Amino acid sequence: MGVILRYTCPECGYCFGGNFGVGMMFPHKYMETAEEMKKGERGNEAKKFFAEHPDGAVNCEYVLMCCTECGQYDCREDLTMYVPKEGYTHNIPKGKWSVAMPFSGCDYVSDYEREECYTVFAEYPHKCEKCGGDMKILHDDDVKTCPNCGTELEEHECGCWD
């Protein structure tokens, strides 16, 4: 299940929001994203990664990012690339994903599997659409500041999405 978040500045009124995480279509989204990366539709680095690591995995969740140059926020797919830990073999056949969206037999790496059985190989090189600077993935405990006035942003959960 994904979450809808809104960030607002109590000082100047700046507001940014997005749909974060991944919904019930995760197995389909994972397979679609990995296939696009393998074909080079997400850049040469991603294509090279899957060519050299066919057992690799990717994080396709939508996350909050901030430009290290201009402070612009964006909600994008994480796309961090992972390799399996030594001795781990990815088991392709999966059981049902959910009652509504079974995706039985789909080839995907679940969040749990990725966190327990894989290690980070490389972060995807996201670029800011505004200035071209590097985008940094922000985590829950990172302070989010207004790109206009520097005040700490307030986070509001607006709902869940699928």
What is the block-wise mean pLDDT of the chain (162 residues), using blocks of 10 residues?
A: 91 94 85 95 96 96 96 96 92 57 70 93 96 95 94 93 72
Nearest to 62 by CA among 79, 87, 42, 45: 79
CA distances from 105 to 46, 79, 108, 114 (A): 25, 23, 9, 18
Angle at 65 between CA 149 and CA 63, to 5 degrees: 135
Question: Distance between alpha carbon 137 and the CA centroid of its chain, in Å?
Answer: 9
Confidence (pLDDT) at 143: 92
Rounded to whole angstroms, how far apart are CA atoms 69 and 135? Answer: 8
pLDDT at position 101 is 57
